[in-house]
Structure 1
């Protein structure tokens, strides 16, 4: 009983501290310590026999294990995003989409621009920073309430693209290691779910905006609003080619190299961006340096959460919780989806939720004979639902740091589109897989 209190209390404390702005590198181990102490776990390796559970050993094993497995992907992904940003390639693609669709389709233009960049492998944070100035300009010209800008950015980035089949985003690649699948696992169902989420989510976003307009809300300019830079930009097709290169290389090598194919794909994207757009760079070396620093921060924050999971999964309460979730009646996919989604939600990280849950859940379900492709796609989609609760790093950064909004004004729309829409999409995926579609 005390162990369960410690587990739930530690997770709740992690959410509270994160929402209050505490650094995850501090909050992660602190909350893991709460779990360990209330579960009676020894604190140091010297206090137990070799291989036995202890706070420091389990936390650092989870932390270092995640870094060892995923640092090359985080590094190259962050560098690719930065060189796309610094060369103007990301801006060029976004601007091209906006110009083609026009002011009347301002919201759709922002969503599509984010979707193209995200599905092409550009970091979610880079996408938000890159598209935001154009979003402000479009919302201003269309006289739309600016509090919906974070929702438009998030919807195009972390819903129907991030966890879909073929996506180079890490949330689609982590399951490969545990299920021996490919990034295209369950693509038939993934396509249906992605189209549903895109159409339904866009309809809902437009409905929310129209209701706000009916109430008299309009765009409010602010001092210091960003301007869309008029610097020379590469041809938009020169910006699209690196995105295509990432997708093509990952497709070619995914069978032979599994998740390591992402390393070659992202490296190919970096090289292609440089070769095609080198005369447009402001400072290529600085872009690589900034990308490297961003990768270190991103993987450290995620690893801090995974380290917390390394302690949590070693206490008795965690095994009890897993038994409950994996014993849910009906399709085994339901238990897996709930487990990953809940852990991702409590930790505020889709990739962290997968890294904590899959080492335990994947062997369990694979031994039961669950279809690996169905499980891969279900887990990927489920990780991108509850992870977008208010304490999620991307949500906090996008709403506050990038858009300058408050959670009270902007999160309602963000939560609807990045939590509820993916949950409905997840339910649709489970139903389709349970009916035998795509397996």
Structure 2
């Protein structure tokens, strides 16, 4: 009955979440159903196991959710994201429209701008470019997905994406874990995606298919409650806050617009390898600080400081373009709240399931998968990300339940924790792009297309290309180790 309870609870969570029910309600209810059928105490599982794990996730990662959403909103309202998109459009032109959209998305998301902020800026830009170039509207979503969902989220060294931060406390790694492998994976994803989109564009031209359709009502997209519930378990920005604040009609120069993005990467690098390692953090072992190790917090601290510096720089550079600064900052802060608690609720559900006696069967099956801990970790994370429709939720559930075991096995086999980190992050970012993913649903909505029109191309650039890169990283890491 215990295993049936786990499957039933998970099934109910997926079924109702897909229909727009709040995960804040579904996750504890599903956890309690699993506990009930396992004959486990309900209230203890809710208040101690579920809430304890959810609170731990909030305690570890809320600073990054808050700072990431705030930075994204400031970059949007100051006109910086639009300035970068317009610069790429001007330099590459309509004849390279797909490349312009991909690179614009990659630049802003690698620099720390939240995905949903990027989507609502990139979609109108892509529409204008594709109209002039006479490229079918259905290719807009895969082009945007390639630049925002894939290598900048899970492979490029130092990416401030929350998915890249989650493994750090578990493995004692930095945002720059396995940089060489990350760069190789990024090139594979980018190259494969551009090849597929170029092939799709050529096929459309041969068939005489050009730009079509009328753009969506972005206000309706932003205010859609079902879409909002799906989206907030996917990324760290609540789409409902997109229209709040005050968008500047004036744009900064490209140099000023890009400077905060550069600062995120540079400060992150300096904090990770130069500044923090030279300071004495032995006091962290004291009970008042939770007895944590420096490696368990240094990665999160590096990203947090980098985002703080970038936020301050964005405000200083664009103060004149941010006349309603308080409204913008309020919107950014508010945008982080529902996502952090939605993902934390998924994590709480996973903690209850992992604590049930029947979970031992699931754990033993996952750990028995051939190919060693790298393959096992990749399979487990992919499955959980696919089921929850959330890269961050699936990744945290997997590491909460099995992270210590994977770290132990890796140590026994001489596998660098940095390699575990990169494999885990890339695994979370593959099957999280299934049709029920909030990011996919939002992307299709802002582009004004249906899954039937665009989803196959999204699969190719965001899932197939990512899996090819993941296989390459596992193969290279197994032979040459982490580099």
Are the aligned partners of 2:419 and 2:481 in contact in 1 as well (CA < 8 Å)?
no
Residues of 2 paired with 1:31 and 1:360: CA distance?
A: 17
Q: Deviations over 1:51-97 (max 9, x none)?
A: xxx24432212222211111111001000000000000111111111
Q: CA deviation at 1:230?
A: 10
Q: Deviations over 1:143-167 (max 9, x none)?
A: 1221222221121111111012211
Residues of 2 paired with 1:322 and 1:123: CA distance?
A: 34
Q: CA deviation at 1:346?
A: 1.1
In structure 2, which of residues 115, 139, 142 is the aligned counterpart of residue 148 of structure 1? 139
The aligned counterpart of 2:350 is 309
Q: Deviations over 1:276-332 (max 9, x none)?
A: 122222522211111111100211221121121121111233222122111222232
In structure 2, which of residues 441, 464, 467 is the aligned counterpart of residue 396 of structure 1? 441
The aligned counterpart of 1:328 is 369
The aligned counterpart of 1:48 is none
In structure 1, which of residues 332, 343, 346 is the aligned counterpart of residue 387 of structure 2? 346
The aligned counterpart of 1:423 is 467
Are the aligned partners of 2:35 and 2:356 in contact in 1 as well (CA < 8 Å)?
yes
Residues of 2 paired with 1:304 and 1:311: CA distance?
A: 11
The aligned counterpart of 1:6 is 5
Are the aligned partners of 2:416 and 2:481 in contact in 1 as well (CA < 8 Å)?
no
Are the aligned partners of 1:155 and 1:418 in contact in 2 as well (CA < 8 Å)?
yes
Residues of 1 paired with 2:359 and 2:203: CA distance?
A: 44
Residues of 2 paired with 1:403 and 1:36: CA distance?
A: 41
The aligned counterpart of 2:449 is 405
Residues of 2 paired with 1:123 and 1:224: CA distance?
A: 21
Are the aligned partners of 1:147 and 1:405 in contact in 2 as well (CA < 8 Å)?
yes
TM-score norm. by structure 1 comes to 0.92
The aligned counterpart of 1:60 is 51
Q: CA deviation at 1:223?
A: 6.2
The aligned counterpart of 1:245 is 263
Are the aligned partners of 1:246 and 1:266 in contact in 2 as well (CA < 8 Å)?
yes
Distance 1:232 1:373, change over 3 A: same
TM-score norm. by structure 2 comes to 0.84
The aligned counterpart of 1:357 is 398
**Which sections of structure 1, spanning at least 5 residues, go unmatched?**
46-53
Residues of 2 paired with 1:236 and 1:436: CA distance?
A: 40
Residues of 2 paired with 1:119 and 1:152: CA distance?
A: 16
Distance 1:213 1:33, change over 3 A: farther
Distance 1:31 1:133, change over 3 A: same
Are the aligned partners of 1:344 and 1:352 in contact in 2 as well (CA < 8 Å)?
yes
For this pair of structures, how many residues does the alignment match?
A: 427
Residues of 2 paired with 1:230 and 1:59: CA distance?
A: 42
Q: Deviations over 1:156-179 (max 9, x none)?
A: 111111012211111111111111
Residues of 1 paired with 2:202 and 2:332: CA distance?
A: 38
Residues of 2 paired with 1:320 and 1:420: CA distance?
A: 30
Are the aligned partners of 1:332 and 1:365 in contact in 2 as well (CA < 8 Å)?
yes
- Across the aligned residues of Structure 1 and Structure 2, the Cα RMSD in angstroms comes to 1.9
**Which sections of structure 2, spanning at least 5 residues, go unmatched?**
219-246, 277-297
Are the aligned partners of 1:114 and 1:156 in contact in 2 as well (CA < 8 Å)?
yes
Matched, 1:285 2:326: yes
